[in-house]
Amino acid sequence: MTAGPEDSQTAPPPTDPTREAVCRRCGTSCHVAVPAGDLGSVVVPGLHCQFLVADSGLFTCAVYDRRFEAAPWCHTAEQAQPLGYLAADCPYGAHPEGKVALAPEALDRVFGTVLRNLRAWGVPTYIDRVALLRQLESRTRRRWALDPWPGDPERLRLRPVGLTLPLATSARGGSA
Ligand code: SF4
């Protein structure tokens, strides 16, 4: 299961239960990855498909049985792997340009770059907007809004709102 641009999707093949069992439910593929220099495309906690649900430290899909109807941006692992939409070390097949989930300290170090790229390129409309805004507010100690991207109905633009918040609210939030 993975999120990615819709226009690369073709009709999904039937589900194979044996293949499904390979998934480790890390949720990486259902997050949107953001370029972070030499580290590649890194997963941003909170920046993920609107149907992704945190489940006891793992992730699950709220619409898995009907995901290709409910979520036209979703891909099968077979479709996503050659495109680099899965985790770089995914059991469905490694990919040198796959998504990378950094340890919290490593993500902290590159978050300035990640945020700059998010603001420059925007985010897809299919994300969980509440989760992203909550995560950004926690990390940056300021509030953010998501606005329509001029001329692109499938993209949203991040906009800072108001002043930096007091330090007491700055603890880093959860992953989703
Ligand atoms: S629809 Fe489900 S499987 Fe597909 S990207 Fe969203 S959370 Fe992942």
Of 11-15, 16-20, 108-112, 167-171, least confident by mean pLDDT is: 167-171
Structural domain includes residue 154: yes
Ligand 1 atom closest to the Cα of residue 71 is: 1
List of residues 6+ apart from 8 with CB closer than 8 A: 75, 79, 83
pLDDT score of 176: 39
Residue 35 pLDDT greater than 50, yes or no = yes
Q: Tell me the CA–centroid distance for residue 75 and ligand 1, in Å.
A: 8
Smallest CA separation from ligand 1 atom 2, residue:
61
Structural domain includes residue 121: yes
Structural domain includes residue 85: yes
> Is the Cβ atom of 74 under 6 angstroms away from ligand 1?
yes
pLDDT score of 72: 97
| Euclidean distance between CA atoms 162 and 52, whole angstroms | 30
pLDDT score of 175: 39
What is the mean predicted confidence (pLDDT) over 14-40?
Answer: 89
Q: How many domains does the chain have?
A: 1
Residue 115 pLDDT greater than 80, yes or no = yes
Structural domain includes residue 176: no
pLDDT score of 14: 58
Structural domain includes residue 174: no
* 3 state SS of 120: helix
| Euclidean distance between CA atoms 78 and 76, whole angstroms | 5
Query: Which of the four pLDDT bands, split at 50, 70 and 90, describes residue 119?
Result: very high
Q: Tell me the CA–centroid distance for residue 101 and ligand 1, in Å.
A: 17
CB-CB contact of 41 with 118 (8 Å)? no
Best of 64, 90, 127 to mutate for ligand 1, by most ligand atoms within 8 A of CB? 64
Structural domain includes residue 13: yes
Range of the structural domain that residue 54 is part of: 2-169
Structural domain includes residue 175: no
List of residues 6+ apart from 145 with CB closer than 8 A: 133, 158, 159, 161
Q: What mean pLDDT value characterizes the chain? A: 88
Structural domain includes residue 76: yes
| Euclidean distance between CA atoms 85 and 30, whole angstroms | 9
pLDDT score of 163: 73
